[in-house]
Every structure is written in C-alpha cells, then in structure tokens.
Structure 1
Amino acid sequence: MKKIVLSSLLAMTALFPAFSQIKYEQQVVAPKIEVAGFAELEIVPDEIYFNISLQEYFEDEKNQKNKVIISTLEKQLLKAVEEAGLPKDALSISGLGGYQNYTDKKKKPATFLESKQYELKVSSPEKLDGILSKVESRGVQYANVSRVDHSKREELKKQVKIDALKAAKVKAEYLVASLDEKLGKVLEIKELDENLYFPQPVFAKANMRTLAQAESADMVADSQVQYQKIKISYRMQAAFEIK
C-alpha cells in the first residue's frame, strides 16, 4: 500500500511543472487593437413607385348619363404604359373600391361608381407625365409617389460594408504605427449597425391633377420633382493583432 501512495505522489510531482507551465501560457495574451470603421453612400433613386387611382365617371354628370366604365380607363392606362416602353410587370393592381352615387334627398343610391388602384414603377417622373396625359383626366382620381428604391441596392450595401471595414483597418494601421508597432492578422470582425434611409420625394411645383388633365404628352410641363438621396451607411468593428 505504501508503494502505491508513494508512486502517486511522485507522478503528481512530475506533472505539476507541466500544469504550471500550461496555466502560465494561457495567461499570456497577445496584444491587439479593436477599432470601428464607418462608411456612407448617397445615391439618387432609379426606381420610383407611383400609386394611381382610376375612377368611373359620367360624361353627362348632371343627368348621370354616359358612364365611362373602369375597363375603358384601364385600357387607356395599359396602352399608355406600353407606348412608354415599360414592361408589363411595371404596372400592377393594388386595390379595388367604389362608392354609391346619390342624387335625391331620400339618399337612395342612383348608381355605383367603381375605382381601381394601381402601382406603377418608373425610372423617372417624366415617364409618368406622358402616361397620365393619355388617360381621360376625369377618370384619374389621384397619382402620388408611394416609395423609391434603387435597382442595385444589395450590391451597394455590400460595397459600403467593405468600405467601412477598410476604414477600420486604416485607422488601426496609423494608430499602431504611432507607437512604432506593426499591424498583424485580423482576429475578429463585427457588424455594429446598419442604416438605410429611403426618403420620399418632395414635390415642389408638380401637380399630378394638372398632369393628368393635359391633352397630350407634348403639353405636359417639365416635372419639378426634387429628390433627396438614398443614404446607406454601415459601421464595422475589427480586431487586429499587434506584432
């Protein structure tokens, strides 16, 4: 029994220096630097989405006769979109509606006027000007901008991330160089935050009702739409080893 205990003690004594060395090595932390880089990009939107609402009406409003139905107005809109050189999928239906038209004091509905809403994607407001000029003006209830976007948004987001990471590396390099040290390999990369700002266009003088009332595309005045740019920004954090 004594031999076994003695052997165990000798084994532990032999291993103790090794454990001590491992513990010491784990406590040694290589010097590093952590920095954050920022990049931002402003771009003009090349995808403009318009909401257009068409509504039935009477040519003889007083006598409630000769109703122009919604299918007639829709055909005019479809033809105008085609003549503008836009693809079929540029125009889509976004809603249906209508209201009862009352003519007497007893509030009995005389007829039902249907309305139909569409979303139209164009690359510039000038396209919309020409399209609305070919639809009966009394049938255009309203037309306004719903949103804007950019066709290469995802590609641009990637580039801004890369630029932010490069900015972090440049910052780390000159900070380390100021201490007469050199930057080593990258140890960690984190995406801190993402900011995407897609503003709505602000109309200065353009009046969609006026545009719709023009008899031809030649009579449509130049659009006075002022756009704010889309802003894409990223902040990236990176940790580097210091040699």
Structure 2
Amino acid sequence: MKKLLILAAIIIVSYNTFAQNVDLRRKIEVTGTAEQEVTPDIINVSISLQEYINGKTKVTIDQLENQLEAAVRDAGIAKDDFTVNNMSAYNNTYQKKKNPDFLASKQYGIKFHDLNKFNQILSKVDPKGIQSTNIDSYNYSKIDQLKNELKLKALLAAKAKATYLLNGLGEKLGNVLNITENDNSNYPQPRQVMYKAMSLNEVSIPSESDINFKKIKLSFQVNTVFEIGVK
C-alpha cells in the first residue's frame, strides 16, 4: 500500500511538472518582408601598372605611378581612398641587376564614389603601362541605417498581417513571443576584368561604365510569433 501511495505521488508530481512546461497559449505565426534597391556609391577598383620597353627606353614604374598619382589628385580622390595593394619586385635590386629587362609592377586600390572619374583618371595614365583593372567590390555608404529601417518595416508588416488575420476571426493580437530575421539581400558580382591591355599595340580605354544600373537589392524577412489575446 505504501508503495502504491509513493507511485501515485510521483505520477502527480510528474504530471504537474509536465503541465507547467507545456505552453498552452494560443499563438499565431506570420512573416513580414521589406525590400529596397539602392545604387552603390562606393566602388573599390584595383589598377595594376607595369613597366614596359618603348624602343630602347624603359618606361619605369616611378613614371607611371607619378602619372596615376597626379590623375587621382586632379580627380579629387581623397588620399585615404588611394592605396598601394601589392608590389612585384619593385625594390628588388638583386632582381634588377640579375635581369635588367625585368619589368616591375605595382597594384593600387582606389575607392570611387563617382565611377565616371574612372575614365578621367585612366585617360591621364600611359595606356601601355596599364596592365589591368578590376572592380573588386561594391557598397552603399548608408547600408547599416537602411538595413535597420527595412528590418523594422518587415516587423511592422508582420504585425499588420497578424492583426488583419485575427480581426477577420474576431480575435485580438497579444504580445509578441518570438522574432527571427533573415537577410536575403543580393549584391552585384564584381567584374573580374574591366580593362586589360592585351599587347602594346592593342590598347583601349573602356566606355563609360554601366555600374549605375547594377543595384544592390536589400531584402529582409522577419518571422514573428504573437500571442492571441483574450477577448
């Protein structure tokens, strides 16, 4: 008899514990979405310069760099937006003595806020010394602020949807129980090669870029769970 009472007590305690852990609140789960497209206003471009032989004269990397620096300065590019990314045997005295015909190269990074200045800069640099240029990445200067605004819009859209559905059933919207956000934004892929001098006799400067048509699409989805309020 005593064992039966103990077993009954264990069952009652287990049932009460289970009942306390079960969420018996009525809930509704909805999803809200907010999207917006923006034109990139930060474009990171890399430019590679390389020495070349013009007849019997070598056009040095120093000469090409001076041209590029002057062009960048004339275009109004800030100093912090113009950097040296990489050098290939630029200061290698041993390599130069070993092979006088060795052609040194340097790679530079420029941050553009107006890509129309790209052609302006290239037009002032010896085209035979331009090895290649790439668009490395895009961005938007107010991206963080816009992301926050879209997340809030998505959340409010979810709330409006839940309210509308519950009103149709004669129910009231209660407190929010859970919020989960998903970033479905889409950034344009950088161009691998924007310009390249294939040979000393085949040099061309590209026409104006169509980068303004390649927009960044920001898209946020917010999944929310609301409690259905008491009538």
Q: TM-score, normalised by structure 1?
A: 0.73
Counterparts of 1:215-230 in structure 2, within 5 Å, are 223-226=208-211, 227-230=213-216
Aligned to 2:183: 194
2: CA distance between counterparts of 1:122 and 1:152? Answer: 15
Aligned partner of 1:44 among 39, 44, 47: 39
CA contact under 8 A between 1:55 and 1:141: conserved in structure 2? Answer: yes
2: CA distance between counterparts of 1:24 and 1:38? Answer: 37
SS at match of 1:196: coil
Deviation at 1:180, TM superposition (A): 1.0
Aligned partner of 1:92 among 67, 83, 86: 83
Counterparts of 1:65-76 in structure 2, within 5 Å, are 65-76=56-67
SS at match of 1:48: strand
2: CA distance between counterparts of 1:28 and 1:109? Answer: 79
User: Share of identical aligned residues, percent?
Assistant: 42
Counterparts of 1:1-243 in structure 2, within 5 Å, are 26=20, 29-60=24-55, 65-97=56-88, 111-191=101-181, 193-200=182-189, 223-226=208-211, 227-243=213-229
1: CA distance between counterparts of 2:63 and 2:141? Answer: 33
Aligned to 1:15: none
Tell me: CA distance 1:51–1:69, structure 2 relative to 1, closer, same or farther (3 Å): same
SS at match of 2:86: strand
2: CA distance between counterparts of 1:169 and 1:222? Answer: 48
1: CA distance between counterparts of 2:188 and 2:68? Answer: 27
CA contact under 8 A between 2:131 and 2:196: conserved in structure 1? Answer: no
Structure of higher CA gyration radius: 1
Deviation at 1:196, TM superposition (A): 2.7
Gaps of 5+ in 2: 6-12, 91-97, 198-202
Cα offsets for 1:66-107 (capped at 9, x unmatched): 2111111111111111111111111112222269xxxxxxxx
2: CA distance between counterparts of 1:208 and 1:169? Answer: 52
Aligned to 1:13: none
Q: Which amino acid aligns with 1:160?
A: L
CA contact under 8 A between 2:44 and 2:135: conserved in structure 1? Answer: yes
Deviation at 1:241, TM superposition (A): 2.0
Tell me: CA distance 1:150–1:208, structure 2 relative to 1, closer, same or farther (3 Å): farther
Q: Which amino acid aligns with 1:239?
A: V
- The two structures, once aligned, show a CA RMSD in angstroms of 3.3
2: CA distance between counterparts of 1:207 and 1:73? Answer: 17
2: CA distance between counterparts of 1:24 and 1:122? Answer: 62
Kindly indicate which of the two structures has a greater share of residues assigned to strand. 1
2: CA distance between counterparts of 1:87 and 1:187? Answer: 49
Runs of 4+ in structure 1 deviating by more than 6 angstroms, as ranges, are 22-25
Q: Which amino acid aligns with 1:145?
A: I
1: CA distance between counterparts of 2:127 and 2:77? Answer: 21
Tell me: CA distance 1:221–1:92, structure 2 relative to 1, closer, same or farther (3 Å): closer
Deviation at 1:229, TM superposition (A): 1.1
Gaps of 5+ in 1: 1-8, 10-18, 100-107, 215-219
CA contact under 8 A between 1:144 and 1:208: conserved in structure 2? Answer: no
